[in-house]
Amino acid sequence: MYVTPVAPENATGALHALYEGEVAAKGYIPNYTRLFSLRPEAYRAWRQLVTALNGTMELRRYELATLAAAEALHCRYCVAAHGAVLESKFYDRSQLEAIVRDFRNAGLDPLDVAIMAFAQKIARHAYEVTEADVAELRTLGLGDAEILDVALTASARSFFSKTLDAMGCEPDEALAGTANLLDLVGSSETQPGRG
């Protein structure tokens, strides 16, 4: 990490409670939580946004959209973290690797593929999103509020992934099993047909 977070032994008040909560929930303090120890109010706002998004989207689709955006942003931490969720709750390892390698040809249903493509496009080049992109999601069964949910998810991931990468925040040891998922695709900017 390029900045020095508040050490657990120096945390007081709300930050101390946050650190204790992470240990109780996860068994350790994630590196991203340590990073945001310098601005815990920003972290609280982030958690509120994620909670709002999770409350409106099916978890699997939220995680797929997040994974697609994180991959587009080349964020090793976020690909590892959300890949771990997908592996633990929805897909076996070979299916997860197929999704990371090329979600368009990984056996996902057309709506899941369209959601991931939309999230990826937003994360890379939101200014290139067109009404036709939105119409495709509508045709596949999403309503306007659900389409906005995907856009919010991809946009929120852009904030978080870019913050972690800009500050040199590395994946936690607990994510060792998925920390190299991004290596399966190399530079996704050079993958044909991945935009």
pLDDT at 179 over 80: no
Query: What was the pLDDT predicted at 54?
Result: 85
Give, in order, the Cα–Cα distances in Å from 194 to each of 26, 102, 118, 132, 162.
34, 8, 11, 17, 20
Query: How far lies 36's CA from each of 14, 42, 176, 178, in Å?
Result: 12, 7, 22, 23
Say whether pLDDT at 143 is over 70. Answer: yes
Q: pTM of the prediction?
A: 0.87
Q: How confident is the model at residue 185 (pLDDT cuts 50, 70, 90)?
A: low
Residue 188 pLDDT level (bands cut at 50, 70, 90): very low
